[in-house]
Amino acid sequence: MMLDPASLDQIFRTARTHRAWADKPVSDDTLRALYDLMKWGPTTGNSCPARIVFVRSREAKEKLKPALDVGNVVQTMAAPVTAIVAYDLEFYERMPVLAPHTDARSWFAGKPEEQLRRTALRNGSLQGAYMIVAARAIGLDCGPMSGFDNTKVDAAFFPDGKVESNFLCNLGYGNPEKLHPRAPRLPFGEACTIV
């Protein structure tokens, strides 16, 4: 059954990337609800390599700040939460729990680092997209971005080297008065082919 038009608008058609935020906190319960939705999206072999750090405290924001591109500092420091969407390079260690019906760990353990990174990045990116859809579905606005120094973020938040950052996503309640006109999207015929 298809979602109603208002729900589709909220998740896709009228949802926008926000850069200005209302001074309204995002609770732990809301972040848990967000994860409890996004976790159901499919990944290769149910590998679930995404690891998310929800940066909310002033101290944690200050830790993140030096890694931000200049143009992203104001919006990120003002956002109630910034999600660091990352991926675990040793995701396969959780495969016995995540795929108990088969020996899925053996599909990845001992494989070349490039193959593991490719699988983790691809599926962690999918999970990051699910996070955005889930956030919008529960009433949060999102501001995903890639304007930051991954090396600095990884050193500050993932010093063991087993997890690597992918992208950042500010979360909260956007200020619609600060939105610019919506940018166009490619039409079906330019982006898609049916063969």
pLDDT of residue 140: 98
Residues present in the chain in total: 195
138 within domain boundaries:
yes
2 within domain boundaries:
no
pLDDT of residue 154: 98
CATH, residue 97: 3.40.109.10
Count how many domains the chain has.
1
Place of tokens 């053996």: 106
pLDDT in tens, 87-124: 999 999 999 999 999 999 999 999 999 999 999 999 99
pLDDT in tens, the chain (195 residues): 999 999 999 999 999 999 999 999 999 999 999 999 999 999 999 999 999 999 999 999 999 999 999 999 999 999 999 999 999 999 999 999 999 999 999 999 999 999 999 999 999 999 999 999 999 999 999 999 999 999 999 999 999 999 999 999 999 999 999 998 999 999 999 999 999
pLDDT of residue 101: 95
86 within domain boundaries:
yes
155 within domain boundaries:
yes
Rounded Cα gap, residues 131 and 36, in angstroms: 10
19 within domain boundaries:
no
pTM of the predicted model as reported, rounded to 2 decimal places: 0.96
99 within domain boundaries:
yes
Boundaries of domain holding 121: 24-173
Task: Convert the chain into a string of H (helix), E (strand) and C (coil).
Answer: CCCCHHHHHHHHHCCCECCCECCCCCCHHHHHHHHHHHCCCCCHHHCCCEEEEEECCHHHHHHHHHHECHHHHHHHHHCCEEEEEEEECCHHHHHHHHCCCCCHHHHCCCCCHHHHHHHHHHHHHHHHHHHHHHHHHCCCEEEEECCECHHHHHHHHCCCCCEEEEEEEEEECECHHHCCCCCCCCCHHHHCCCC
Q: What are phi and psi of 59, to 5 degrees?
A: -60, -45
Instruction: Determine the residue type at 31.
Output: L
183 within domain boundaries:
no
pLDDT of residue 156: 98
Q: What are phi and psi of 91, to 5 degrees?
A: -55, -30
83, 168 Cβ separation under 8 angstroms: yes
190 within domain boundaries:
no
| Cα separations in angstroms, 9 against 19, 33, 164, 178 | 19, 20, 33, 19
